[in-house]
Amino acid sequence: MLINDMLQLRRKITAVPAVLFFAALVLLGGTAHAQAYDRTIISGGDSISHHYSYLFPSFREAMVKFRDGRSFTYQMNFNTLLCDMQFINTKGDTLTITNGVDVDSILLDSSYFIFDYRKGYFQIVAVSDAARLAIYRRSTFEPVQKGGMGEAKQSGGVEMINSVSGRQGTIPLVLNQDIYVVKKTTYLLIYKSGEMENAGRAAFMKIYDGDKKSFEQYVKANKINFNEQGDLEKLFNFCTQNKM
């Protein structure tokens, strides 16, 4: 994406400064909607780096804005296994951003990323005056325990393996046991107040000008799946078409 286009997108979004933005965030309630899970096994003796996957097909030019007002461009991509932003340095090495706390925002492709030091990256995929549609991704790594017949079973509770859940994504870490990688994707509506809520029916109704009947008719006619990004973007545009 060209830098001029990215600058235009930056002006359109007019995001709340990240420090104030995340200080006000409150996750309202929970629901099975607006969430997707994916679970795979990586075998002992394998390297985590062999299973890296990326949000975009290739690294591409991104603009990084820091909290102190500086901005730079890098070739970047989002690692969906580590849920971390990575960049290519001048030597051609692929590295993970380690000073995310200093980052205000990242413009990458047609999306806008905001970093929270407690949670990680939120991808903003649609914007209106009423709200923003965001995607939050998180991976956890759980040791696999063997059942009585030797079959794999998930261990009781979630044990985070810190050496692969931190900002060390570029280190080829060879596992000493089988692990489950559980990827969780949550779709959220972020309101002007800074509060956020899972992007389900109730949340969309809060930003819709019409009545519940017309809303439900649209959802039914368009077969909206509340666990699919494309469907949620379509519904977001429908609900905010008079609020842009």
Rounded (10°) CA dihedral 34, 26, 235, 76: -80
Residue 226 DSSP symbol: T
Least confident window among 46-50, 184-188, 206-210: 46-50
Task: Give the CA dihedral 175, 176, 179, 184, nearest 10 degrees.
Answer: -40
**Residues 79-135: pLDDT tens digits?**
999 899 999 998 999 888 888 788 889 999 888 999 888 888 999 999 999 999 999
- Among 9-18, 73-82, 89-98, 135-144, the range scoring the smallest mean pLDDT is 9-18
